[in-house]
Structure 1
């Protein structure tokens, strides 16, 4: 053993060998390479230790391994343009800058499960304040290890333990090194784009940007986003909003007296039906209804069901649907408004409106809080609570999740633990995810036949839709037993299409056609919109509308005045509704004509028309197109210019302060606990603090007790 120890070279011997290697030729180049390697190692290690990026498959794992390298080369290569000790200090400086950015994001991610944005760094926001207050609690001594190499390198230079390259390198070499970094960055972006289309244009989660491109690249991307937002916001002025408010006021429709205020004071459940299209209602496969529970709900005489209701999303997909549903503002033409503007903009949202009228507002989502920037946007919307994946112990179990979050049956059941604690009246939005592309579900949860179009993506769609329907049925049964059904209004809506136009042969088979036209594809954009409540005069309503119209329609039923609100939708219950439905790309639908993919059709019979052969169409199209272009442009201006910050016209509404909101699990649970005493109106409080969760019945196989559990229970009871 002693002989072995004697053979091990001393650290000083190691260092002498390394130093000798670096001194042979171009010591600055070796120092540059050493810094690149150090940056790469600590970034890659911390990707795995401190971030939850969810890299899956060989391509994503490779990108995670590769993406720290290009920007490290680009930034550190700046040192190669200098000579002498200055070049060494510049290399150390850029090592420190990248390490400091990594260090700051580790702390921020540990607290908020998201990455720092330039908007947060520059705004002194509530998240920044909360982080500074709790930094002592979240920091670990090991976090400082990120800076150890920098300290060592600095000491080596100070005490002249490195040979300083006084000549430096040729500028040509320095330029080629910088160019290498740039080329590698584009190579990484090319691979990332192939694996994840629309990565930068849709930008739905900061985790994706970091996973695919890198932490430094994310900083650049976010910086550009922030700059564009700042510029558009900087040039906006109150007169811009005034012009838009004048336009909106002229579009305001009279309320329907038989509906206005009929649901005032009731709880509101908004159930987000992921990727759920209207054609699924009453649709059968092999003689079986795909959605028997939703069909029954749709045809209930206490349900207002709209059969000409369309999704209007763009690249933001689900986030666009939420923006319209909560604010009656369109999503953007590119990217997601919630991601780009949700953190810092001022909104007049449904949660804020209702919370200022005595409602408790809460959103429920069985995925990470950062997805679509919900953790920040929901504060801007005024949600009191946001119950995301961190609140659900079952979410940590792999087989309890599928695709984009918890399976619906488990998610809805587990959400009721928090719903029963919400002071009433409340506004609760439940976002389901199982019926999401690519429509995969484990065999244990499939009890419905797939369609047989031959398109693997399409054929599983009815199976996940059936699963969602079962989950919805279980939820309704529980709410009736728990006493939350009778005094609630239920709002169900599909957020966007489930089957894209890329599957036209399969769509034709589903619709029983030989092939589909653009008219058929336009009709295929219908999604459900249902409103149900005791005492509500229901039936199938044929008014044409879309997601932009949800907010004014719901405010009508709840008896909330909206005269001074900046909304681009129209009350679908108003007898004066003209039924114009704009799409995000500028196409549109009216009760008389359709423009879709640059073709025109008669809405009633699907006959294709041309502007040249139909004078009435030409006249109508010019008028409708002018209106559609204007509302889209005005809506974009409201968001990109953050124009609602100038709104002083509403005495019944005040802008929310984001500092008042925290979605940390500990804060949320504490707030619920306090509410049971300060406002004991929750279902739990009214039931004398006895939970009703035992009334929730689900056939989710994941929640079924195993035989060993049953034996254990039997054994315990016998004792």
Structure 2
């Protein structure tokens, strides 16, 4: 009994660390799984992964160990705090690639600061307990355990943790084949296995992927991908074929523009009166979704200019900037177009200065090329940016492709100083209230720009594409958005349908105006424009929206919709969109899910192995 009591006392710091870490991970899991959280289902995998971490502590001498535990506790708490804040905005778990990219993103302090909550610091509260234990250990004398006892404790705890962990990981891999190898849904993995396992699997896959980049893809897999690319775009498009041939293309990517603000009024006034007006004069796609991943704005640019899915983690603009692409700019240059991109921020942000060259962009007008005479949020105000961009566009030799990215409506939407306060309703001071003011300002700037294009006579020879890049309101603010929408709560299906962004294509003389109901996303813009401008439409994963017979939209986390059903990957749930009812998985739905994973996997292989270079070389 004395030996047992001595053993307990000798290792009390390990037991407290184990209990503390399990509680922290449970709290974290509760925050990212509010609708489906179950202590019973998540507790065992969390205990298993924590046992593995704690097993190594038995090998360290007691006085050194308490210091190491304090460091480890601080490190893990910091990771959990980062994970929570990342999840609040991106609705995802950060990966190793995201961490790599984050070091290169520049100054986004205002966005990060607005997500952080003071209560997050409670994850560090247990450090006080470990400090007390450290002081207690410093004032008592005790012999270290025998080496055999240390190894026995280590081996026992490690074995138990590995057996339990292996069971739960294997169980998940059977229930969700390819989930752990593709990491297409990190949130689901964290919900099923705990955040420690989620990061562990991510690290394993990151190492494996780094190795696989230097290995050859099998000839069979390479042929399968090539065949899919050929058959995906082989159907002859007839509607609007060559409608824009020889005309200028002006494409505008609007920061955080979401559809719920379109044609909506507050206090009797339209939030986006100018966009509402131009939508009526254009081909407007009212079931259009953003499809970005961890690359945010850069992912939207990547998809619209390449029709390839973004990287499963991190940003393709960093990870694959040296790949060869059959980009929109490159295809138009072959037709004699001059190409330019415009953005009022740093040229290095999102690695644009490197990536644009690889996407066939001749000139990149960035922060250095504009007079920063007024700032809103991160940089040059949209009004000044668009006015100055117009002057530069007027000097471009026709035909040209101009790609513009706005900035003022960037999260957290609280810097419209000096531009009036459009909204003063009950949501004032909330993120949604600030967003209404921000997007109203951007709408005014866009309206002025489009009107000036018309006055200058540019529109008679140009096709204009305008779309939103990604969501504006993060998931943790859905209750506030529900209040704005006039509903008591928002379920997963309703939330998914709120992730639509406006997209319209304006033709000269307002031709082809109207509402188009086809379900689509950012992947589909390039194939649609390829048909309109009669340029080569090879090696694309999207579809032509004017000629598509199906409305398939795939999302990076494995969710998808075909316009009739919606699959919510984080909860592994199918919905009938029309009725809102949940559907039981049958062979047809399972096949659609498998097809989604296959296409995402094909896209990943294209990026990892730079396959387009090979396909392009083979066709020349």
TM bin (shorter chain): 0.5 to 0.7
Contact (CA 8 Å) 1:595, 1:601: kept in 2 or not?
Answer: yes
Q: CA deviation at 1:393?
A: 2.7
- Mapping of residues 108-507 of structure 1, within 5 Å: 193=82, 197=86, 198=94, 201-203=97-99, 204=101, 206-208=103-105, 231-237=211-217, 239=219, 240-252=221-233, 254-300=235-281, 303-342=282-321, 344-394=322-372, 400-453=374-427, 456-507=430-481
| Equivalent-residue separation in structure 2 for 1:450 and 1:637 (angstroms) | 50
- C-alpha deviations, 1:49-74, integer Å up to 9, x for none? xxxxxxxxxxxxxxxxxxxxxxxxxx
Q: State the partner residue of 2:528.
A: 553
Correspondence for 2:558 among 586, 593, 602: 586
1:510 is paired with a residue of what secondary structure? helix
Q: Does structure 1 residue 544 correspond to structure 2 residue 519?
A: yes
Q: CA RMSD in A?
A: 3.2
- C-alpha deviations, 1:180-201, integer Å up to 9, x for none? 9x98995997699489745954
Contact (CA 8 Å) 2:331, 2:536: kept in 1 or not?
Answer: no
| Equivalent-residue separation in structure 1 for 2:266 and 2:541 (angstroms) | 39
Q: CA deviation at 1:293?
A: 0.8
2:578 is paired with a residue of what secondary structure? coil
CA spacing shift, 1:458–1:254, aligned 2, 3 Å: same
Q: State the partner residue of 1:699.
A: none
Contact (CA 8 Å) 2:306, 2:526: kept in 1 or not?
Answer: yes
- C-alpha deviations, 1:429-484, integer Å up to 9, x for none? 11001111100123311241145236621211111111111001111122122221
| Equivalent-residue separation in structure 2 for 1:475 and 1:279 (angstroms) | 22
Q: Does structure 1 residue 528 correspond to structure 2 residue 502?
A: yes
Q: State the partner residue of 2:158.
A: none
| Equivalent-residue separation in structure 2 for 1:627 and 1:455 (angstroms) | 44
Contact (CA 8 Å) 1:451, 1:460: kept in 2 or not?
Answer: no
2:284 is paired with a residue of what secondary structure? strand
Q: CA deviation at 1:636?
A: 0.7
* Unaligned segments of structure 1, at least 5 residues: 1-171, 213-223, 613-617, 653-719
TM-score by length of 2: 0.67
| Equivalent-residue separation in structure 2 for 1:435 and 1:543 (angstroms) | 27
* Unaligned segments of structure 2, at least 5 residues: 1-60, 87-93, 110-203
Q: State the partner residue of 1:570.
A: 543
Q: CA deviation at 1:333?
A: 1.6
Q: Does structure 1 residue 611 correspond to structure 2 residue 616?
A: no
CA spacing shift, 1:437–1:568, aligned 2, 3 Å: same
| Equivalent-residue separation in structure 2 for 1:333 and 1:489 (angstroms) | 32
Q: CA deviation at 1:518?
A: 1.1
Q: CA deviation at 1:416?
A: 2.2
Q: State the partner residue of 2:163.
A: none
TM-score by length of 1: 0.58
CA spacing shift, 1:515–1:188, aligned 2, 3 Å: closer
Q: State the partner residue of 2:183.
A: none
Structure index of larger Rg: 1
| Equivalent-residue separation in structure 2 for 1:588 and 1:512 (angstroms) | 26
- C-alpha deviations, 1:138-192, integer Å up to 9, x for none? xxxxxxxxxxxxxxxxxxxxxxxxxxxxxxxxxx9xx99xx99x98995997699
Contact (CA 8 Å) 1:458, 1:499: kept in 2 or not?
Answer: yes
- Count matched residues: 451
CA spacing shift, 1:582–1:194, aligned 2, 3 Å: closer
